[in-house]
Amino acid sequence: MQTLVVVGTQWGDEGKGKITDFLALQSDLVVRYQGGNNAGHTIVLDGVKYALHSIPSGILNEQIVNVLANGMVINPKALIEELDKLKGRTFNLAISDKAHVIMPYHLELDAIKESLLSEKIGTTKKGIGPAYTDKAERIGLRMGELLDPLLFEKRLKEIIESKNKQYHLYGLNPLDTKEIYEAYMSYMNRLKPYITNTSLLINDAIKAGKKVLFEGAQGTLLCLDHGTYPFVTSSSPTAASVPLNTGVAPWLIEGAIGVTKAYTTRVGEGPMPTEIDNEIANYIREKGHEYGTTTGRPRRIGWLDLVLIKHAKLSGGLSGLAVTLLDVLSGLNELKVCIAYELDGKIIDHIPSTVSDFKRVKPIYKTLEGFNEDITTVKRFEDLPNNAKAYIKFIEAETELSIDMFSVGPDRNQTIIINKIF
Ligand code: IMP
């Protein structure tokens, strides 16, 4: 494949950053296509940990062009802080002139709107929802507009007038246009060299036969359309959203690898049918370091739920799977895998469209035997203990997807290829 999408099949945090970092070794471009710094990508290279939020996972490789495409929302201040952490490294970055800009009022409105909800979404409070709201309402600002100081000043003045009316209703102090203008002009001085038409850049690369990896943030169940609405993010992490969010024709996207943990995690609120809250959950949380990269929150833990993967395959498209954190399951006597749900006495193998129905589903499990061996040094599928192999084979049979890779630890050399797809 020349173009491949990396998609989360669960509620985010599937280890996509690590899989992307690995696949990026063979890529010429790595493209983030949605979301913003609500995401967290932890990459370990030579024992050094890099926590990335908006920057694509290919950034540690200086040969790769890393693109922040038009479907993203970008907080310039946070992006500069991230770039500062890469000091001393050479990198190649391109930011879409059509990507929307996260403004200070988006952060404040994110917090206040969430505080007014009786049932909280549990957002990352990075201003993602309000920034996408402004985009849809046509009162957003795009990176390219900020390159023109006069245009930016004019539009900012108008927007702030309207935001201040909203602020008044919420009892907040009015925003200071001049202060925001000056701060953003200084951010743009720093970011200006990277801003360009990234649709042209990606299309030219594809035409020239270069390899392009599209890196999804969050996961399918957090998709605004196909996720567990309203407990979702405000963009679509699916492969189906890539063409629109990057300016590339749909038929140029050749495949999508769905990343799944060997179990399930979720941060924030909302239903999670296979959630467990016992000593097994604690064991998995501690062994898998299941605390949010962006917020530090402990993640909710559950057994692997294959209904989610089937849903990701159906709604956004998957051509194969990558299973991460398989090593975390070693030491458990038995492994439960959810293969379907029961809802009102009926067996279903899809996700109900309302959250209230989704909350009521009961998982139907198949129990497999666990494994005790330390698998963190395994280099080939054949070297896995039989029960770990059986676990992988069971996922393949149930989802009718091939498992093309799996990982047994955080380092790049702990990712193992079964089928070379890219
Ligand atoms: P928002 O994206 O900050 O608006 O948050 C909406 C929902 O998506 C919340 O439940 C967040 O916890 C969740 N979320 C957003 N980004 C991520 C991520 O990268 N990993 C896991 N959950 C996320």
Q: Is the dihedral of CA 409, 413, 419, 421 positive or negative?
A: positive
Paired with 346 in beta bridges are 343
Query: CA angle, corner 352, sides to 369 and 346, nearest 5?
Result: 65
Q: How confident is the model at residue 17 (pLDDT cuts 50, 70, 90)?
A: confident
> Closest ligand 1 atom, CA of 110?
4
Domain boundaries of the chain, sorted by first residue: 3-86+198-417, 100-194
Q: For residue 254, name the pLDDT band (cuts at 50, 70, 90).
A: very high
Over residues 230-257, the mean pLDDT reads 97
Task: Tell me the C-alpha distance between 332 and 335, whole Å.
Answer: 7
**Nearest CA owner, ligand 1 atom 11:** 123
Which runs of E-coded beta strand occur in 162-253? 195-196, 212-215
> What gap in Å lies between CA 213 and CA 1, rounded to an integer?
10
Q: Say which of 28, 41, 134, 311 is annotated catalytic.
A: 41
pLDDT single digits (tens) 101-126: 999 999 999 999 999 999 999 999 99
Give the pLDDT score at 374.
Answer: 97
At 135, the amino acid letter reads K
Over its C-alpha atoms, the chain yields an Rg (Å, rounded) of 21
Q: What is the pTM of this model?
A: 0.95
- Give the pLDDT score at 298: 94
Convert the pLDDT of each residue in 393-416 to its tens digit: 999 999 999 999 999 998 888 999
CA of 11 to the centre of ligand 1 (A): 8
Angle between helices 306-315 and 386-399 (to 10 degrees): 40
Pairing of strands 334-343, 275-276: unpaired
Query: What average pLDDT score do residues 242-271 get?
Result: 96
Residue 12 C-alpha to ligand 1 middle, in angstroms?
Answer: 8
Pocket test for ligand 1, best of 233, 259, 265 (most atoms within 8 A of CB): 233
Residue nearest ligand 1's atom 20 by CA: 12
Q: What is the largest CA-CA distance in the chain?
A: 66
pLDDT tens readout for residues 163-184: 999 999 999 999 999 999 999 9
Q: Which of 243, 246, 188, 193 is nearest to 68 (CA)?
A: 246
Query: What local confidence, expressed as pLDDT, does residue 403 receive?
Result: 98
CA of 229 to the centre of ligand 1 (A): 12
Cβ neighbours of residue 56 under 8 Å, at least 6 residues apart?
20, 30, 31, 32, 66, 67, 68, 215
Q: Is the dihedral of CA 317, 304, 262, 16 positive or negative?
A: positive
Task: Identify whether 53 is a catalytic site residue.
Answer: no
Side-chain-facing half-sphere of 355: CA atoms under 13 Å: 14
Q: Which residues line ligand 1 (CB under 6 A)?
A: 11-13, 38-40, 121-124, 126, 128-129, 217-218, 222, 231, 233-234, 267-268
| 13 is known as an active-site residue | yes
CATH superfamily of 3-86+198-417: Adenylosuccinate Synthetase, subunit A, domain 3 (3.90.170.10)
Q: Is 77 exposed, middle or buried (0-12, 13-18, 19+ CB in 10 A)?
A: middle
- Confidence (pLDDT) at 412: 83
pLDDT tens profile 47-72? 778 888 999 988 988 999 999 999 99
Ligand 1 atom closest to the Cα of residue 124 is 3
Provide the phi-psi class of 28: left if phi over 0, else alpha when psi is between -120 and 50, else beta.
alpha
Buried b (16+ CB within 10 A) or exposed e, 171-199: eeeebebeebbeebeebbeebeebbeebb
Q: What is the mean pLDDT of the chain?
A: 95
Contact 26, 422 (CB under 8 A): yes
Domain 100-194: CATH class, spelled out = mainly alpha
Atom number in ligand 1 closest to CA 217: 19
Distance 128 CA to ligand 1 centre (A): 9
DSSP state of 107: H
Residue scoring higher pLDDT (290 or 292): 290
- List Cα–Cα distances, 118 to 122, 233, 244, in angstroms: 11, 18, 34
19-54 as b/e: b if 16+ CB within 10 A: bbbbbbeebbbbbbbbbbbbbbbbbbeeeeebebbb
Strands 264-266 and 300-302, sheet pairing: antiparallel
Which pair of tokens denotes residue 3? 């173009």
Instruction: Tell me what pLDDT residue 169 has.
Output: 95
| Calpha distance 403→383 (Å, rounded) | 16
